Structure 1
């Protein structure tokens, strides 16, 4: 997902009707044992889109197992999409055997389900889905029109409020299904690119078409509907690891030249990620991007792109590059708890200056990192240590770290890389993403991770106890401050940290143009420096620390 934007106005909120309940608006957080015991083996999801009336009609067949006994099933579904029929293992239920007053569909099972048991639940539903207020920062469906011909242009976003906005699902990260078959039916003249591999297009008698897709292990929120009179540019990426991977970009008519230029970024960006991280996780499906009426979102193998082909000094499309990064950080490796959201966004954000460095060198990297530094707010710790909802983390108004999971997360990774070196940093990253240091197509699967596991990986790879590093940078809001004192020929350095926590982070000191790394054992150091010498501490900005200059700039910017 993208960094935060301004909050929506009241008028925009009103345009987001029909409203949703607090349950539907909540994604993740503490999960009741009965729901946590459920696992989706397979989802067959048939949805027909009616742009003229802003409606959806769907049939979802959920094949699920349970690790605990169940007498009822709790499935997340927005109550704006009422259920008209429901069956369990082929047996139709009476209307009184299910209810959905607040957005959590409660299904009374015709027979108890034992631990280890399996059930097939078929749910027929439909209605007017919640409209996204300000996609992608608020979620729902976007009913737009293409420029010029004013044809339907439809898209979904669901990361904040969750998958239940348009299909019956388990709306928490580990609710991820093993496989999904999508069948999206659209009016004549429209196309419906989606997740995974295209299995075929059925042409119906009245001109409608049904687009059939098969995907493995999509995040619940990354299952996406995109509908428009798309045109397509395609090609093949020859992976560094062997596979020939289809690349597809679906774009609006009339934008061929700009679309072709963006498509030319696909292969080099893939090469960057494969060279520094490892194999593209969905090598057996596709690299897919679709033009949307909102800015962007990491919808697995069908990433949303709506940046209108804007150019930046970096020389590459940062929205496309960021969302593609989520195929590794968010889709292949997923946070089981939204409290660890920084593993998605901090890494995806950090991949931007690393790509700038890969393309142009250190000057571009430093410039991009400086832009991020000015955005760090330090309003809350990046990691709280408790189970969180997506909105609790993403919204500063809810007491969460907000955009710091992006920009501060990137600076934490920058500081870590400079501390442990590139070889160890990228081994840590590979172990995080793939669960192993030697990923190759076929020897890894999608995985869940967490901040505690990440710290264990860093400790394992470095052979050191690095908990002190993360105790400050992730678990405290305030940044460490380096106190510098010069007395005669002596330079004293001392780390000042929240709650006086230990912080033995070494620091570079440049004296009259010569730089050396100073150990800060115990958080302090004393150097003999001639009184007349010119001293610059951390001359290459390798360390994230408090800056009064940055704070003054931020205060001034807020007043302007």
Structure 2
């Protein structure tokens, strides 16, 4: 996001002091058009897309159209469709009749001639073309990746989280509204294969030296979850006996990597078994599960998870936790597939709440480790990632301007959830909360408060202060204690006002027990001179 000189400040109140945390930037008109539910978006409910595009590798260009089907919620005659430079919309029609439109940066405002009647379903057909932005460092810098494999064949893929799907196709580029289903038709040279979301319905041969792959997504899908992957793919598959029956698992890799993939991808059914235990059924049985090799690290595209981890365990061979547990499994298979539950099933409405995707999915790495290697191993893994936390900016970003929060949404968010699990103090109850989230918010877009309220309600504990402390603040709470006449007193410091999170402590060589500190000094009959805190809680400890 572009920061400009006008700066205002957020002042956070902590226990016993106030601290200036960070500067709040002023955002641009384009940020608002992209990140808010504008008047030209709110009046229509997206029902269906049929995206048709032709990919021309020789000059890195694309062209095509998108059929946008919608239901009228209230009367309006102007509709916003988003498409980013340097791509351009060339024509828009409704019922075969051309419509006028104007461009405002990356937003197009289309004037509808036909009266829009509340409750009626309508559609527009949007034609577009151009050379989409190339990805400089996918998936972090979104765009088209135009690569070639070792045999000289084109190896092409899209990735666009954050920057937005309108980077490469015209759409309603805000996460709050998803189509109920989607068709994707991709035309490419005949020597290549396209793999996109959902199930392949057919391949049609064209008069020129191209063919078209027709995919259909039976479930709601978020914008950035849509993808195109093009290469000289070979395919293999298997069946997974899951909680909702038989799940089709399909794998697409380059020929030279086939044997390595057959070994490495054995982790997919292991992942599915573990995550169905923790989160409930895989959310997209109708569309199947695919793992697709791409020329970048990987991404959580719905039912079409992309993979570029070089067929090795860890994160490109590294253990992010430095405990040894992170090299027991393939980071991209586990993490990106975990997003099928938290990102693709449960999706944030505003990218400021991206923690809903990344904190839960980061924690899924711990849960996978626990499922196969035990509770202590899982805990060691998530605790080991704390060294990667920076605590420079809050996890939750700014709303309505397409601004995500800090990268601490991964490791700090995972440790926050691990801390909350300790407060719940009942493993089956905790698992029930995770399963319940995916059942209650099945195929929905959500706001952070819905998730926070649900977890508090099902835990039977008001966790609002905990969420505020870890999501909206950068300070790590410190349990401060002192011993006077052999009696230990304690309180929370370096925290928000009213912070009262329970925590487990123990005297040396004794078992842990809960205490209930507030920001005021108190004691609960603990005697002695020293305390230790359960390391499963992400807090600091200080004796005074």
Task: Give the aligned partner of residue 370 of structure 2.
Answer: 357
Q: Which stretch shows the higher mean deviation, 328-337 or 459-468? A: 459-468
Which consecutive unaligned segments of at least 5 residues does structure 1 have? Answer: 1-21, 394-399, 437-444, 549-560
The whole-number CA distance in structure 2 between the counterparts of 1:35 and 1:339 is 19
SS of the equivalent of 1:311 reads coil
Task: Give the aligned partner of residue 125 of structure 2.
Answer: 122
The whole-number CA distance in structure 2 between the counterparts of 1:144 and 1:299 is 19
SS of the equivalent of 2:114 reads strand
The whole-number CA distance in structure 2 between the counterparts of 1:66 and 1:174 is 16
Task: Give the aligned partner of residue 431 of structure 1.
Answer: 436
User: 1:101 offset after TM fit, Å?
Assistant: 4.6
User: 1:381 offset after TM fit, Å?
Assistant: 2.3
Task: Give the aligned partner of residue 239 of structure 2.
Answer: 236
Task: Give the aligned partner of residue 369 of structure 1.
Answer: 382
User: 1:150 offset after TM fit, Å?
Assistant: 1.7
User: 1:145 offset after TM fit, Å?
Assistant: 0.8
Task: Give the aligned partner of residue 538 of structure 1.
Answer: 533
SS of the equivalent of 1:284 reads helix
Verify the 8 A CA contact 1:497 1:503 in the aligned structure 2. no
Q: Do the aligned partners of residues 414 and 87 (structure 1) sit closer, same or farther apart at CA in structure 2, a change above 3 Å counting?
A: same
SS of the equivalent of 1:491 reads strand
User: 1:529 offset after TM fit, Å?
Assistant: 6.0
Task: Give the aligned partner of residue 382 of structure 1.
Answer: 395
Task: Give the aligned partner of residue 557 of structure 1.
Answer: none
User: 1:525 offset after TM fit, Å?
Assistant: 4.2
Structure 1 residue 107 corresponds to structure 2 residue 110: yes
The whole-number CA distance in structure 2 between the counterparts of 1:74 and 1:229 is 37
Verify the 8 A CA contact 1:182 1:212 in the aligned structure 2. yes
Verify the 8 A CA contact 2:198 2:216 in the aligned structure 1. yes
Task: Give the aligned partner of residue 162 of structure 1.
Answer: 164
User: 1:489 offset after TM fit, Å?
Assistant: 2.1
Task: Give the aligned partner of residue 57 of structure 2.
Answer: 51
The whole-number CA distance in structure 2 between the counterparts of 1:379 and 1:426 is 31
User: 1:153 offset after TM fit, Å?
Assistant: 0.7
Verify the 8 A CA contact 1:234 1:247 in the aligned structure 2. yes
Q: Which stretch shows the higher mean deviation, 369-378 or 202-211? A: 202-211
User: 1:422 offset after TM fit, Å?
Assistant: 1.9
Alignment of 1:126-525 (within 5 A): 126-146=129-149, 148-215=150-217, 216-239=219-242, 241-312=243-314, 313=324, 314=326, 315-383=328-396, 387-390=399-402, 392-393=403-404, 400=405, 402-420=406-424, 421-435=426-440, 445-520=442-517, 524-525=521-522
Tell me the number of residue pairs that the alignment of Structure 1 and Structure 2 aligns: 503
Verify the 8 A CA contact 1:26 1:161 in the aligned structure 2. no
The whole-number CA distance in structure 2 between the counterparts of 1:508 and 1:424 is 22
User: Deviation digits for residues 99-152 of structure 1, max 9, x if unmatched?
Assistant: 325121221212232333432211221110111121111111111111x21211
User: Deviation digits for residues 55-78 of structure 1, max 9, x if unmatched?
Assistant: 111121111223222222210012
Structure 1 residue 98 corresponds to structure 2 residue 111: no
Q: Which stretch shows the higher mean deviation, 344-353 or 197-206? A: 197-206
User: 1:24 offset after TM fit, Å?
Assistant: 7.4
The whole-number CA distance in structure 2 between the counterparts of 1:388 and 1:317 is 35
Verify the 8 A CA contact 2:83 2:171 in the aligned structure 1. yes
**TM-score, L = length of structure 2:** 0.87
Q: Do the aligned partners of residues 523 and 330 (structure 1) sit closer, same or farther apart at CA in structure 2, a change above 3 Å counting?
A: farther
The whole-number CA distance in structure 2 between the counterparts of 1:145 and 1:259 is 19
The whole-number CA distance in structure 1 between the counterparts of 2:247 and 2:525 is 58
The whole-number CA distance in structure 1 between the counterparts of 2:202 and 2:374 is 44
User: Deviation digits for residues 153-172 of structure 1, max 9, x if unmatched?
Assistant: 11111111111111110111
SS of the equivalent of 1:484 reads strand
User: 1:92 offset after TM fit, Å?
Assistant: 2.8
User: Deviation digits for residues 237-272 of structure 1, max 9, x if unmatched?
Assistant: 111x24211101111120112111122111110000
Q: Do the aligned partners of residues 109 and 504 (structure 1) sit closer, same or farther apart at CA in structure 2, a change above 3 Å counting?
A: closer
Task: Give the aligned partner of residue 36 of structure 1.
Answer: 42
Verify the 8 A CA contact 1:503 1:523 in the aligned structure 2. no
User: 1:373 offset after TM fit, Å?
Assistant: 0.8
Q: Do the aligned partners of residues 499 and 324 (structure 1) sit closer, same or farther apart at CA in structure 2, a change above 3 Å counting?
A: closer
Verify the 8 A CA contact 2:479 2:541 in the aligned structure 1. no
Q: Which stretch shows the higher mean deviation, 202-211 or 519-528? A: 519-528
The whole-number CA distance in structure 1 between the counterparts of 2:464 and 2:524 is 27
SS of the equivalent of 1:80 reads coil
The whole-number CA distance in structure 1 between the counterparts of 2:290 and 2:220 is 16
User: Deviation digits for residues 269-290 of structure 1, max 9, x if unmatched?
Assistant: 0000111110010011111111
Task: Give the aligned partner of residue 81 of structure 1.
Answer: 87
SS of the equivalent of 1:469 reads helix
The whole-number CA distance in structure 1 between the counterparts of 2:196 and 2:234 is 14
CA RMSD of aligned residues (A): 2.3
Q: Do the aligned partners of residues 28 and 175 (structure 1) sit closer, same or farther apart at CA in structure 2, a change above 3 Å counting?
A: farther
The whole-number CA distance in structure 1 between the counterparts of 2:345 and 2:512 is 40
The whole-number CA distance in structure 2 between the counterparts of 1:242 and 1:117 is 35
The whole-number CA distance in structure 1 between the counterparts of 2:49 and 2:159 is 19
User: 1:547 offset after TM fit, Å?
Assistant: 6.7
User: Deviation digits for residues 492-548 of structure 1, max 9, x if unmatched?
Assistant: 2211143432314232214334433333366654366665x7x45124x12111379
Q: Which stretch shows the higher mean deviation, 482-491 or 60-69? A: 482-491
The whole-number CA distance in structure 2 between the counterparts of 1:202 and 1:238 is 32
Task: Give the aligned partner of residue 3 of structure 2.
Answer: none
Verify the 8 A CA contact 2:502 2:515 in the aligned structure 1. no
User: Deviation digits for residues 311-331 of structure 1, max 9, x if unmatched?
Assistant: 234311011111101110011
Structure 1 residue 65 corresponds to structure 2 residue 71: yes
